[in-house]
């Protein structure tokens, strides 16, 4: 219960507390003898500076906020890891929140971040429109970096992947393999990732002069259940698709489950390509062809942008777009095509 303060150290070293502070932050010349006395006192007393007091006085924080939209999605594991590593390397701590794709919860956490006076915030927004909450943070001097998703008309740095290109490549891959009835489990249209990936899908079809077939487009909510349900719907069509492009990892899992239930063989009877590669994608029921995102780098880059912004609050805002890569495994039927 006994917390030693800077005054205890000062008393023990027989100096003023200003001197102690100066020694610990070494931003000022201090006599070598005094310095040693202070360091000795710190050691003896086991003194740990109180970050809370320091934050209040210096108005500078070493804590950054991280609001994730769905912490249960393995996609974010590697993102968080990237953020954590980069933060650790720069002696920053992380306050983590999970908005659970809930705008109200996000709003609450934005307020918490403001109250906590974090040095900056990395946000995976729940929606592509801001009702003022994010903008407010910027106004009170807390820089925000958006991760994964965009928010329309917001002045902020953004780190994301090239979703259009990623989806395009995935669908193009299926087209190259000779499939024409390509369905998609599309993501939420109120998220930039959803609309961008859908656009990539459409563009790939268009570039191959395949007309868009609305019955093959199913909108999900990025959750496993929706992928499962919509895949059942797709396969119940009078003319089911011969390939499916799923716009995220969870819906892909749902699709896998549905197809397994129906005893539909992948890649024999249907082909499947997902978005987001996972460490165990190769160990799945049908090793999964998928669009791999550089998730770790995404998190890393977000912290870098944030640090830059903290140093130079008025620099022009940047959008860093990382490239995806298509990892081809068996589920897309590439091996079949080879054998033909």
Partner DNA sequence: AAGTATTCAGTAATCGTTTTCTGCATCAGG
Partner DNA sequence: CCTGATGCAGAAAACGATTACTGAATACTT
Residues in touch with DNA (CB under 7 A): 3, 5-7, 14-22, 24-25, 27-31, 34, 47-50, 53-54, 56-60
Query: 101 and 71 in contact (C-beta within 8 Å)?
Result: no
Q: How far is the CB of 116 from DNA (least distance, A)?
A: 12
Collapsing DSSP states into helix, strand and coil, what is residue 94?
strand
For the chain, the maximum distance between any two Cα atoms, rounded to a whole number of angstroms, is: 88
**231: partner contacted, choices a copy of itself, DNA, none (Cβ within 5-8 A by kind):** none
Q: Does 314 bind a copy of itself (CB under 8 A)?
A: no
Among 63, 103, 264, 336, indicate the residue that binds a copy of itself (CB under 8 A).
63
**How would DSSP label each residue in 240-270?**
--SEEEESSHHHHHHHHHHHHHTT--TTTT-
Cβ atoms < 10 Å from Cβ of 336: 14
Query: 277 and 291 in contact (C-beta within 8 Å)?
Result: yes
Distance CA 325, CA 288 (A): 14
Q: How far is the CB of 155 from a copy of itself (least distance, A)?
A: 15
DSSP state at residue 81: H
**190: partner contacted, choices a copy of itself, DNA, none (Cβ within 5-8 A by kind):** none
Among 34, 71, 326, 327, indicate the residue that binds a copy of itself (CB under 8 A).
71
Among 81, 199, 229, 304, indicate the residue that binds a copy of itself (CB under 8 A).
81
Q: How far is the CB of 32 from DNA (least distance, A)?
A: 8
* Residue among 224, 210, 321 nearest 274 (CA): 224
Among 24, 30, 34, 77, indicate the residue that binds a copy of itself (CB under 8 A).
77
333: left (phi over 0), alpha (psi -120 to 50) or beta: left
- In the complex, the residues that contact a copy of itself under the rule CB under 8 A are 1-3, 46, 48-53, 55-56, 61, 63, 66, 71-72, 74, 77-78, 80-81, 84-85, 88, 93-98, 105, 111-112, 114-117, 136, 139-141, 224, 253, 256-257, 260, 279-280, 282-285, 287
């Amino acid at each position: 219960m006994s917390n030693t303060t800077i005054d205890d150290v000062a008393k023990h070293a027989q100096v003023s507390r200003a001197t102690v502070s100066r020694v610990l932050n070494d931003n000022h010349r201090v006599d070598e003898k005094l310095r040693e006395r202070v360091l000795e006192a710190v050691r003896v007393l086991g003194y740990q500076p109180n970050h809370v007091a320091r934050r209040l006085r210096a108005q500078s924080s070493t804590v950054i906020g991280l609001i994730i939209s769905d912490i249960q999605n393995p996609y974010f594991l590697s993102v968080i890891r990237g953020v954590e590593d980069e933060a650790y390397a720069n002696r920053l701590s992380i306050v983590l929140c999970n908005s659970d794709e809930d705008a109200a919860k996000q709003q609450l956490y934005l307020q918490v971040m403001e109250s906590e006076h974090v040095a900056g915030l990395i946000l995976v927004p729940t929606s592509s429109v801001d009702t003022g909450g994010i903008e407010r943070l910027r106004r009170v001097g807390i820089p925000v970096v958006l991760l994964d998703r965009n928010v329309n008309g917001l002045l902020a740095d953004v780190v994301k992947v090239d979703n259009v290109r990623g989806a395009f490549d995935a669908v193009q891959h299926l087209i190259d393999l000779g499939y024409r009835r390509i369905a998609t489990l599309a993501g939420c249209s109120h998220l930039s990732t959803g609309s961008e990936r859908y656009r990539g899908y459409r563009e790939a079809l268009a570039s191959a002069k395949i007309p868009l077939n609305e019955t093959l487009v199913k909108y999900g909510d990025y959750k496993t259940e929706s992928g499962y349900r919509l895949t059942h719907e797709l396969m119940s069509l009078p003319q089911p698709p011969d390939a499916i492009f799923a716009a995220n990892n969870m819906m892909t899992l749902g699709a896998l489950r549905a197809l397994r239930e129906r005893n539909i063989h992948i890649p024999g009877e249907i082909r499947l390509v997902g978005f987001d590669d996972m460490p165990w994608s190769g160990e799945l029921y049908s090793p999964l062809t998928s669009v791999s995102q550089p998730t770790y780098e995404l998190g890393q880059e977000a912290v870098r942008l944030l640090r830059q912004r903290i140093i130079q609050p008025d620099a022009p805002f940047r959008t860093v777009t990382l490239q995806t890569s298509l990892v081809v495994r068996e589920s897309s039927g590439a091996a079949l095509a080879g054998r033909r």
